[in-house]
């Protein structure tokens, strides 16, 4: 004899309502407010103006919000990866001129993923950027 209601079809997984961000162990945290969306968006858009300073300011200023922290950390990882590629390959290009195209191509790919992640942040979602663009240094 079974006690209680029958298990839901997604046993073990909890559906996330629209506008809610999965939290610790996949449990929803609730809807994301417009203030958090704006701060997360600025972590990406600010990179076009001031580079890695923007996600660092967002991380320090609003890092208590899990939604903003995830976006700011990912944006800062993207900025650190771009800086490392420019420094290392830029120095190597002093010896081999053709290598200067590597950081330029990396920057173009980074810009595409900055827009991709910024659009998700503006919708209150999180889209993971591939690790070759956002090195997983910060979480």
Q: How far is it, in rounded angstroms, from Cα 57 to Cα 72?
A: 9
- Domain locations in the chain? 30-122
Q: pLDDT tens-digit profile of 89-99?
A: 989 988 888 88
Asked if residue 49 has pLDDT above 80, the reply is yes
3-state secondary structure (DSSP) of residue 28: strand
Q: pLDDT tens-digit profile of 74-120?
A: 999 999 999 999 999 989 988 888 888 999 999 999 999 999 999 99
pTM: 0.74
Q: What Cα–Cα distance (Å) separates residue 92 from each residue in 9, 128, 136?
A: 56, 30, 24
């Amino acid at each position: 004899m079974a006690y209680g209601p029958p298990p839901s079809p997604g046993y073990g997984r909890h559906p996330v309502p629209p506008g809610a961000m999965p939290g610790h162990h996949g449990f929803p945290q609730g809807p994301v407010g417009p203030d958090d969306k704006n701060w997360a968006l600025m972590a990406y858009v600010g990179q076009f103006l001031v580079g890695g300073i923007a996600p660092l300011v967002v991380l320090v200023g609003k890092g208590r919000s899990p939604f903003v922290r995830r976006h700011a950390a990912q944006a800062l990882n993207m900025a650190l990866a771009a800086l490392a590629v420019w420094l290392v390959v830029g120095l190597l290009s002093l010896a081999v001129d053709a290598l200067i195209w590597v950081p330029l191509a990396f920057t173009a790919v980074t810009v595409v993923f900055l827009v991709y992640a910024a659009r998700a942040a503006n919708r209150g979602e999180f889209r993971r950027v591939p690790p070759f663009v956002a090195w997983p240094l910060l979480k």
